[in-house]
Each structure stands twice: as structure tokens, then as C-alpha cells.
Amino acid sequence: MENYQYAVFFEANNLSDVEVKQIHKYFSIKRRSGGGQCEINKVGDNTYNINFINKEAQERVLGRKDHVINISEQEEIRVSLRCDNVPESSKQPEASANQECASAKSMAKVFKLDSYLLRYLSECQKANSDLEKKLSLISSTFKIHIDSEEVVVARDPAAKDNYPLKKWEFAVDQVFETLKSCYNVYFEVDRKKSEILEEHHYLSGDNLKIYCEEDTFLAIVVGEWKQVEKILKFVSGLHDQQQIQQECRVSEKQFGLIKEKFESHIKSDLPALKITQEKTDVLLLKGSEEEVRAGEKELLNLAKEIKEKRILSHHPLMTFLESSGGIQHFENRFQQSLRSPVMLETSGSDLLLLSLSDGALQEAAVAVQRDLCLENVHLKNTQKSAAFNTLKEDLSKAVKQANRDSVKVKLKYLDESSSDPKVQMVGYTTEVNRLKNIVLEYKLNHQNHHDSLPLSRPEMADHFPEILSMAGVKKSSVEIKPTSFPSPCVHLTGPRCEVESLKDSLESFLQSLISKQFEVKGPGVQQFFRSDGAETLKLVKSSYMACILPIDDGRNRGNMPIYMNTSFQSLPSAASAQHSLDFEIHIKVVVGSLEQQQADVFVAPMINTNMTSTLIGSSLLKKAGQQLQTNFNNTKGKRTLTPGDVLEVDATPALGCSKVFFVECVPKGKNHNSEKALRCGLGRVFALCELNSWSSIALPIIGPGIVLSIPVKDAVNILTHEICEFLSQSTGCLQTICIAMMPNYAHSEEMFQTVCADLSAKMVDNTGQALFHSLTSDLDEISMPIDRIELHLVFGDITNETTDAIVNTTDFKDFQTSGVCKDILTKAGPHVQGQLTGAAARREARPKHTAARIHQPEESSPPGEMTSNTNVIVIRSLSPAPGKLRENKTFSNFPTSSSTSPMIAATVKPQHKQGPEPPGRDADSSSLGKSAKREQSKQQTNTQQCPHALCMRAPLQTENAQENMYIQCQTLGHG
């Protein structure tokens, strides 16, 4: 634009693009207009300027002033040029008057014609004769001036009477109008076609002339219209035979980014190259081989400048973008707000962002990830609710309201017929969150919910239907289940809103009750109330709106065994269980490696974003295969993780999970930062599980290894604190947390004990609310029926048990050596130790032949007199060496003088040592075995009436050691 400095101006009304193009072509040809290389621009309502590079070209076109330009066969434009942008309308009448006067004096008329048409009239005898003949009919002659591009027509003076001036001028004008319509002057600007015309110059003849401009590579064809069209058709055919075409694979979005640069290059350097798009994502370049190759090269070079960013997404989100016009929305928005345009393409389940600027690409990626959202909300156990149809109606109204102007959100129900249906919401984050809040509110009120209400007496649980009838509770969908064990309470299960409403009503009613305890004494009392007295009780109940409940003093010592809360699997007591969870959240402590578990998500630590920097990561890679490393690298990309960041990696089919969360940790030597990063990472792990609706997670105890070197207690405390911190908030879908630990690790037993102890202590928070439903482990209580005895093998500390008796081995001499015996006596106190010392003295005083008998009671009870107490005896294995297990120890308890409970003896042997025993050591032939056989027949009746429970506690053992142990139990009677 800076080179086009020499301007001329002209006026015209509303020129079309075609007319402007023809004017530009005319003034670009020196022989036609006297001009040269130029540009045309509109500078006013009806004013245009022509800017030339050379001043000589400006002066030449101004020298002619009026230029006649043929637009088509029947249309021409007359252009009057001036050197400044000042209209000369005021001078026009005077000029016209002068021209008329001059014409009247000279009796001649001057016509401006194209120079090539004048050359044609001069060189073509037939055309010249035709013009001469037509002018002679009106008594006129003509003279051609090629240099000035004029034809001067003179009237015969003698014919002034036959042809007055005006009549003559009209007739002359008609002749030249006919002349212009008969002949066509065609300018071929295509260089290739011009070369063809030059090569086939022999096609010129009497009725057709071809003129070639060497400096401008133009070819001009002049002749009758039919002859010109014929030769042009011939040239086009030859030109098409010499052209080639090339397909270039460039997507529509990519071409949109580089279109302006590419078309500018084509216009300036390859004007003859034609560009079309006949297929999707394919451009077709057509032209000479040289131009096509040059155009293809330029196109590919521009395409290489395009930057790409792939955003991992979900197929439903991509479907929404395509169907809702979201792609066009984001492109228009980025066009207005960013420095460089950004285009969006869908690629399977991913979104591809394209731009020529890295900065614009990053800003667009952040905006897309922030403004688009996909949510799947589980509706487990809610689809059968009567309010489910109401939820659908509310969601439908909300969707219509959100999409009133444009599609902003879409809703879909998934797995409606299954036990766990889902609502899928996809669209813009604001609208998705609005719908999600509606669903969560519905879940809060109608999802299957469990709560419990404490009762003041166990008898109230046994007779709770009578209490309900007094309260006037109407039938509802809430399941009411009273229980008296382990503590009296009522479990309520059903839709949350109904459960909470019923609980409030029952709680208020129970608080209003007044109770009083009576004792009725006398012979035959129980028989009376079972027969005749029953009617009396019914009458009293109906008359006074009261419940009369019998009290069972032997409830805790009757047929119901007493169990301790050592298996970590029972709910908190009713007093602290008034708050319940949206889901039953279970925590499992398992002995085994992480890769052996089954869960939605595995969690593993890493250092410096290296998956195999820890043994856990290496173990996962070994089982999952190299595909896990590939997934890890693809997810990581060029990201730089800071301590505490979490990398979500897709798992492989070989692993028992869907995702692996790698937590960026800090190596040893930076203790404070290491623990801080671990806390932050674990917090993010649980938040991501909640965000992505994962229902289960498996993770190790991170920290005690060689890499991080965090003390066991600190590592366990960090883990349990983050678990309880997460569970103290409102949880959505996470229901199972699995804590895995290696079985042969140096600190396995310490970690197991610490984890169980920490979680047990934190099972109920300081407000009395349960954080999770259960805590189980591989070493939880094992129950097995043996004849009429139920054997419980549990893990724990025997000194914490509250059974009727505890049993342990002793040599009756050393009570101070550290071990279980010392722990028991320390907790029991000096009184029990004194009794044990006295029993040892009496044992020494007995004859040797009675040593195998098990402490017969000092005072016998009357025959057949048995208590209803259930005796729970806990035996803890001290895990002695295999050689010591062969010593047939007698496990004894020490009853008081009034005790009538039967004794229990147990013989513990290693399974691999079974076989012939030395004489006197066989269980059946020993005095212990013989005593057991003699007394078993005598006390057969008593043992049938009195069930017994034998509970054994064992410390953490390896799997092989557990498999090599078996327990032999014998029920012994009294002497």
C-alpha cells in the first residue's frame, strides 16, 4: 500500500464488484489506458481513487481524462479522471457548451475507442470496409488516430441540408454503437493462457487478431463475438489439459486459522491457482504443476504453525458440544476475548483445541474445563420411592428453564431398571450444578436411610409393638426393627424424610413415658401371670393405656452369649448412634499387597513424578504390564507436579481397579514437608473419589518405607486422621475403604495394631456420631460350632475381656517374667496373685496320682443344681516354639468355693507333630484324658442343659503358622 502513492479520482454510482474489477483491469494495461500496476479504493459515497506506483502512469491516464470501459457486450462505463478529490460538477455545463460550439464549427465528431479495436479496424480490411460503407450512407468519412486512440468522423459539407447537425450526430452515434456491439476486445490476464495464445498466433486471420504484451504477459483477442468465443474455448481446452490437481488433507478448523495468510499468499504469488473444497477436511488445489506444488508447500508450512492441546473428557460431553452448538459458542467467545482465535474439534471422547498462539490455547483450555461439567449422581435405593416421579418432573422443568434460549444442559437416566440407577447431567457447569442440587436434595430426603433410637430398657425392645400401638404410629414404608443386643434400641430403615419424621415422633413419645418397676413375690407368681393373670394384665393395659412388661434378670447371663467389641465390626452403642450415615461406610484392614486387592481406585506414592520410585509403584507395574506406564506417561504429559498433587491414571485389566491415584510425596530428609505433602495428597485422594463417584478405594499405609521413612505411628496417624476428616463431612458414594499392608513387613504387626486401635478410637466422634459403619480385618473374630459349644477365635488383648473366666498357662512358680501371665496378674491385683500362690501350695500337697485331675471344687453343689450363666472362657495362644507345644499343658481356671460352673480344658498341639506320642503323653491315655472320659458320662445331663462358649485370642501370625495349628477341646464335669 505504501508504494501506491500517485492517485487519480473519478465519480460513479454504486459500482458492483464486477465493474470495479473490469475498471482495475483496464487501468492496469498500459496500451489500453496508459496506466500500469495500480489499486482501486472507494473513498466517498460515489468517489473512487486509483493509486499508481509510477508517476508517469498517473500523468498518462490524466492526459486522456475520459476513458470508455467495456463491461459486457451491451454495457460500458465512461470514466472522467481528475487529479484531486474535488467534484467538478460546477464546470461541467461550461465544458459541454464549449464542446457543442466546437462541434458545430468543425462539423466533425471524435470518438474514443480502445486502441486494440482501432488497430483491428486498421488491419482488418473487412471491418474497415464495413465501417466505411455505413458512414458513407450518412455522407460521412472517418480517420483513425491510433496514437491518440481516436476516430474522427467528418460530415460532407454538401450534405448539411440533408443531415442537420443533430440528426447527423444521432446517426453517427448509432453507427458506432453498432460497431461496438459487433466486435469484442478480450484481455487474457492468465499467464498460461496468454502463453497458449502466443504459441498459437497462427490462429489470427482476416476476422480475428491476437495481440501480445511482452512486458505484462497479456494477450488481447479482437474480432467478432463468435470468433472470439470460439478461440477462447479452444484455449481453455488446451489450458485444462496442462493443469493438475492435488488433494491436501487439512481440517476445516485448521484451514480457518490459516485461511487469511494462505489466500493472501495465493493472491500475490499464485493468482492462477484455484482452491476448492469438494470433500470434508480436504482442500483441492488446481492449476499448473509448478503452482500446485508451491501452493501445497505453503499450505503445509502454515499448518505446522498450528498449536494443539488435547483435553481428556467423556463421550457424553463431546456429544453435548456437537449437538448443542457449544463448539461454535466457545469459538465465537474466544474470537472476541482472546488475542488469537481458538478452534475446537471433537476427537472421540476427547476435545482438541487449535490455535496459532500458545497463550490463547492455555486460556481457552482453562475456560473449557471450568465451564463444562459432567455429573453422574447415584440414586441407589431411591427409584422405588413415590417421590421419584416428582423428582423427574422437577428436573424436566429445570432443564426446560435452563434451555429456554439455547441448549445449556442435557439430562439422562441410566440403569433405571438396576438396583443402582443414575442421573447423568452434562452441560455448562452452572446449569449442571443447579440440577445436581435438586437431585441431592431429593436423595437427602428420599434415599434409603438407616437410623437408630435408644431404648431405656431391654424389655421395651421385646415388646415394642405394644409401645407403637400406644404411640398411634401409622403404617409407613419405614422398617422398624427393635433389638435388645448389644444394647436396647430400635433400628429405623426407609426414606430419609420418613425415617427422620418417625424418629422425632417416637423420641418425643418415649420421653413423655413414665415408668415404674415393681417386684411381685410369692409362690407360683410366674405361673399365675402366664395363665389367669394374663387376662388381668390385658384389662389393666387397655383401661389405663399402659404397658406392663416382665423383667428378665437373667437376660445377660442366659442363652445369649456375651461378646466383646474386639472384632471391630459392630455399630456404636445406641447412645452414640443417633446420627447415621447416608451410606454404610465400611473400613477393612487386610493383610496382603495392594495389587492383590479389588477396588475402584488404588492409591500409590511416588517421588519426582516417577511411577516406579517406590516398591508399591513397581509392584503395580509388574502386575499391570507396560500399558500402565504408557497410561501414566500420557496422563502426566508435560505437567509438573508439586508435593501433595495427585495424578489420576487409567488402570489396566490386569489390576483389580479402574483408576490408580499416584500421590506426589517428598523423600526422607525433609520430615516436615514429607508429612505435610502426604496429608495434602491423601486429602485430595478422598476428594477426587467423592468428585468422581467412586464407591471403593484401596490404599497402603504410606510412609514407613525406606524412601519416605516416616515413623509407623506418624504414618498411621496421618492416614486415620485424613479418613476420619473426610468421613466427618457429608459423603456421597464412597462406601468401602480398604487398608492393605504387606504380611512379612518388619512393622506389619505394629501397623496392624496401631491402625485398628486408631480407627476404633475414632469410630465415634466427640458429638457421639458414628463416622463409619464397620471396621473389619483379616484377623476378625472367627466363630465355629463344636457340638453344643460355640468357639470364638478373636484378635486382641485377653486382659480387656469381660467374660466369666479367663484361662492361661502357668508353672505356679514364676509370676514376674514378662508375658501374658504377668499382664493378667498386674491388672487383676495382688489378691488374685495370692489366690494363685495358695492354689500352687495345695497343688504341691496333693498325691502324685491325682495331679492330672483338674481342680475339683471344694464344696459340691446339690445334684442337678446348675446356674443359667453362660460361661465364656478366653484362651490366648502365646505362640511358643514347636518343641514347647508338645508339652501337654493343662489350662485351668480357679473357681471360688461357691462356683458350680463346669470346667473347660484345652490341649493345643502343632498339626505337623501329630503321630504316636510318648507313653504317658497321649491325650487319651494321660490322667487328664482319663479324667475327662470318666467325668464326661457322669455330667452328660448337665452339659446338655448348660451351653458353653470357648473363645480363643491369638496374636498376629503368618498364614503358614495359622494353618499348622489346630485346637482340641474337651468339656469336663465336676468331681
Reported as a single tens digit per residue, the pLDDT across 574-610 is 333 333 444 578 899 988 889 999 999 999 999 989 9
Taking residue 437's Cβ as centre, other Cβ atoms within 10 Å add up to: 11
pLDDT range class, residue 556, cuts 50, 70, 90: very low
Mean pLDDT value of segment 604-626: 91
All cell numbers assigned to 476:
409407613
Is pLDDT of 573 > 50? no
pLDDT score, position 705: 79
Q: Measuring CA to CA, which residue among 968, 905, 974 is closest to residue 941?
A: 974
Is pLDDT of 76 > 90? no
Is pLDDT of 90 > 50? no
- Structural contact between residues 382 and 446, judged by C-beta atoms closer than 8 angstroms: yes
All cell numbers assigned to 479:
422398617
For the 108-239 domain, the top CATH level (class) is alpha beta
d(Cα 228, Cα 73) in Å, to the nearest integer?
A: 12
Helix boundaries (H) for 249-387: 252-269, 289-304, 315-324, 326-337, 358-371
Name, in order, each residue with C-beta under 8 angstroms of 839's C-beta and a sequence gap of 6 or more: 812, 855, 894
Summarize pLDDT for 927-938 with one digit per residue, the tens.
334 333 433 444
Whole-angstrom CA distances from 828 to 256, 824, 825, 956 are 87, 6, 5, 25
- Topology, domain 6-82: Alpha-Beta Plaits (3.30.70)
3-state SS assignment for residue 663: strand
pLDDT score, position 400: 93
- Topology, domain 586-763: Leucine Aminopeptidase, subunit E; domain 1 (3.40.220)
Taking residue 842's Cβ as centre, other Cβ atoms within 10 Å add up to: 10
Please tell me which residue, 388 or 817, carries the higher pLDDT value.
388
Is pLDDT of 212 > 70? yes
d(Cα 475, Cα 886) in Å, to the nearest integer?
A: 64
Q: Identify the sign of the CA torsion 65, 68, 71, 74.
A: positive
Q: Same CATH fold, 586-763 and 243-303?
A: no
Helix boundaries (H) for 314-463: 315-324, 326-337, 358-371, 388-402, 429-446, 458-462
Is pLDDT of 831 > 90? no
Summarize pLDDT for 473-517 with one digit per residue, the tens.
877 788 899 998 778 899 998 888 888 888 888 888 888 888 877
Q: Torsions phi, psi of 917, nearest 5?
A: -95, 160
Residues found in the chain: 975
d(Cα 541, Cα 535) in Å, to the nearest integer?
A: 10
Integer-rounded Cα radius of gyration of the chain: 53
pLDDT score, position 6: 85
d(Cα 732, Cα 689) in Å, to the nearest integer?
A: 9
Q: Beta strands of 476-529 (E only): which ranges? A: 479-483, 489-495
Determine whether 538 is exposed, middle or buried from the number of CB atoms within 10 Å of its CB (0-12, 13-18, 19+).
Answer: exposed
Name, in order, each residue with C-beta under 8 angstroms of 548's C-beta and a sequence gap of 6 or more: 537, 540, 541
Taking residue 841's Cβ as centre, other Cβ atoms within 10 Å add up to: 9
pLDDT score, position 242: 67
d(Cα 604, Cα 665) in Å, to the nearest integer?
A: 10
- Structural contact between residues 17 and 179, judged by C-beta atoms closer than 8 angstroms: no
For the chain, the structural domain boundaries read: 6-82, 108-239, 243-303, 307-446, 586-763, 797-841
d(Cα 13, Cα 20) in Å, to the nearest integer?
A: 11
Assigned superfamily of 243-303: K Homology domain, type 1 (3.30.1370.10)
pLDDT range class, residue 227, cuts 50, 70, 90: confident
Looking at every residue in the chain, the average pLDDT score rounds to 75
Is pLDDT of 863 > 50? no
Name, in order, each residue with C-beta under 8 angstroms of 460's C-beta and a sequence gap of 6 or more: 467, 482, 488, 549
Taking residue 645's Cβ as centre, other Cβ atoms within 10 Å add up to: 16
d(Cα 514, Cα 521) in Å, to the nearest integer?
A: 23
pLDDT score, position 552: 62
